Structure 1
Amino acid sequence: MPWDEFCTLVAGLMPDTPLGSVVTIRAEKDQKVIKSFTPDQRKIYRDWQKRQAAQKLANPEQLKQDVAQLSKMFASMFGGGNG
């Protein structure tokens, strides 16, 4: 099975399944919802965030590109750049 197809299937899991619940917790962006997580949900969320951060740190060249892009974005937002 191709990776893209697998990701599509996992993303479609219902939150009432164990795997669907983990996927839902990891994908949450709303800070109000995150603050209301149970301790177990917070651990799942925190562990996922740590893993994502470690992956970014493992690729210093990508990290440099991301920081440069972020710098350009802030510069354009606050009038310090050409876009």
Structure 2
Amino acid sequence: MDDFDLIVASFTTQYGLRIRDIKDMRWSEFKSLLIGLGPNTILGRIVSIRAEDDSEVLKNFTKDQQRIRNEYRLKKAKRPGNKKEAEKASEMFEKVFWEMAGLNTSELSRQ
């Protein structure tokens, strides 16, 4: 399951929203809702696993939790630390969001 699937599931769980059905939500509202996702959503639980650094807690991780954490750390280590790359990724994510909402990406500049 990739992060987008986690976001979709978490929006449905917490807000009762189906992202693919949202047609007129602004990007800023989407980001606010994303930031507001709680720890009881699938994304919240995964983020907690990925971010854990307490050695005592890590000792008690299940094999699945260890796998989730290790996969994320490996993926993170391969990412470029370049601000331009991060901005490009953010723009791509925004484009995907708008396309899912059924809007042409040329409409982005008008939003």
User: TM-score normalised to the size of structure 2?
Assistant: 0.40
Structure-to-structure mapping, 1:1-83, within 5 angstroms? 1=27, 6=31, 10=34, 12-56=36-80
Q: What is the alpha-carbon distance in structure 1 between the residues aligned to residue 34 and residue 51 of structure 2?
A: 12
> Identity percentage over the alignment?
40
Alpha carbon RMSD of aligned pairs, Å? 2.4
Amino acid at match of 2:51: A
Gaps of 5+ in 2: 1-26, 83-111
Distance 1:44 1:11, change over 3 A: farther
Distance 1:50 1:24, change over 3 A: same
Higher relative contact order (CA 8 A, sep 6+): 2
User: TM-score normalised to the size of structure 1?
Assistant: 0.51
Q: What is the alpha-carbon distance in structure 2 between the residues aligned to residue 49 and residue 55 of structure 1?
A: 10
Aligned residues: 55
Larger Cα-atom Rg: 1
Partner of 2:105: none
